[in-house]
């Protein structure tokens, strides 16, 4: 499988991200001094941009409103060269927006999203794109879609499906479809929801990895936050913990991690090297105030990989 022969399709959410950065430790139920920033976001859109910046040909299917934010999303995709020709443009729903508050450690305190427009990406809509879905070698998917659409995509796809669980509320949508997934990228609390296993250590994370493998998933990556990532397939498992991390904004870091997983897989890296490569992608992104690092590239990831080491 060569890069030139690959057909990669990304399906899911695209947002306008509005992020508030506090200058001081957050004081709840009060106005906090800081700054606000608006940029492009959305799990699948972020993954798509990062994949594109790594030189991989990719198409994205999302839903965008016929409004000012929609214009910004479309213009940005056109400027950097992302193909959104298969996406739905709605005159009846506003473009997705995601509002998050970041503390002085770069951690998200709380977020609110309005993604009602994605309800328009129905199973019937994807039926019209059946050939695209069937002909794709890799499909990157998030759980922002409704369960019926997810079911249609995973059962129609002939290629490998890489899925990001997005959130605890949305992760449950794919509980009965795990056997269709090639790659599952999730975090600790989302993995708990899906597996029913309480994850409070690396050892219990391994148990969750094994659970997903038994369900038919081919490879699993569980983000443990500051405790690193636990990963596994049917041949090996492992834990990678990066050092020398200075996070500014964690928003988008998980999406960069997924892009790193997919890129590493396409490059036919060993599983442990994929975990390191994806971690470098996540860390590099977290060092930018923007949801997507503006200088995200293979060379920047190689440089970042040299700065982090396994414990």
Q: What angle do CA 298, 302, 306 make, to 5 degrees?
A: 165
Mean pLDDT, rounded, for 26-32: 93
Q: pLDDT by residue (tens digit) across 165-197?
A: 999 999 999 999 999 999 999 999 999 999 999
Q: Kindly report, residue by residue over 210-251, the tens digit of the pLDDT.
A: 999 999 999 999 999 889 999 999 999 999 998 767 777 677
Residue 49 has pLDDT above 60, yes or no: yes
> Are the C-beta atoms of residues 22 and 102 closer than 8 Å to each other?
yes
Q: Is residue 45's pLDDT more than 90?
A: yes
Residues 44, 10 contacting (CB under 8 angstroms): yes
* pTM score, whole prediction: 0.90
Longest dimension (CA), the chain: 55
Residue 306 confidence class, pLDDT cut points 50, 70, 90: confident
Domains in the chain, please, with CATH? 8-14+43-93+119-307 (3.40.1190.20)
Phi, psi of 98 (to 5 degrees): -135, 120
C-alpha–C-alpha distance, residues 254 and 257, integer Å: 5
Rounded to the nearest 5°, which phi and psi values hold at 48?
-60, -45
Question: What is the bridge-based pairing of β-strands 15-22 and 229-233?
Answer: unpaired
């Amino acid at each position: 499988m060569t890069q030139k022969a690959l057909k990669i399709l990304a399906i899911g959410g695209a947002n306008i991200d509005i992020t508030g950065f506090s200058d001081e430790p957050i004081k709840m139920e009060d106005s906090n001094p800081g700054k606000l920033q608006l940029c492009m976001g959305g799990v699948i859109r972020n993954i798509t941009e990062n994949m594109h910046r790594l030189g991989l040909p990719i198409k994205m299917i999302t839903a965008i409103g016929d409004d000012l934010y929609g214009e910004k999303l479309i213009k940005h995709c056109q400027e950097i060269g992302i193909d959104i020709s298969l996406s739905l443009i709605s005159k009846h729903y506003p473009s997705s927006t995601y509002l998050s508050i970041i503390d002085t450690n770069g951690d998200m305190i709380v977020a609110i999203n309005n993604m009602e427009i994605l309800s328009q990406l129905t199973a019937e809509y994807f039926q019209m794109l059946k050939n695209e879905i069937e002909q794709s070698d890799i499909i990157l998917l998030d759980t922002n879609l409704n369960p019926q659409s997810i079911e249609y995509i995973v059962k129609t796809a002939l290629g490998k499906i890489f899925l990001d669980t997005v959130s605890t509320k949305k992760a449950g949508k794919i509980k009965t479809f795990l056997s269709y997934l090639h790659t599952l990228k999730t975090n600790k609390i989302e993995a708990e929801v899906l597996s029913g296993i309480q994850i409070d250590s690396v050892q219990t994370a391994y148990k969750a990895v094994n659970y997903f493998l038994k369900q038919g998933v081919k490879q699993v990556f569980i983000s443990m936050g500051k405790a690193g990532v636990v990963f596994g397939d049917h041949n090996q498992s492992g834990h990678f913990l990066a050092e020398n991390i200075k996070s500014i904004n964690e928003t988008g870091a998980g999406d960069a991690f997924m892009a790193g997983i997919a890129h590493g897989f396409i490059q036919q890296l060993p599983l442990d090297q994929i975990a390191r490569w994806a971690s470098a992608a996540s860390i590099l992104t977290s060092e930018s105030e923007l949801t997507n690092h503006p200088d995200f590239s293979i060379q920047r990831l190689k440089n970042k990989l040299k700065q982090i080491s396994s414990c």
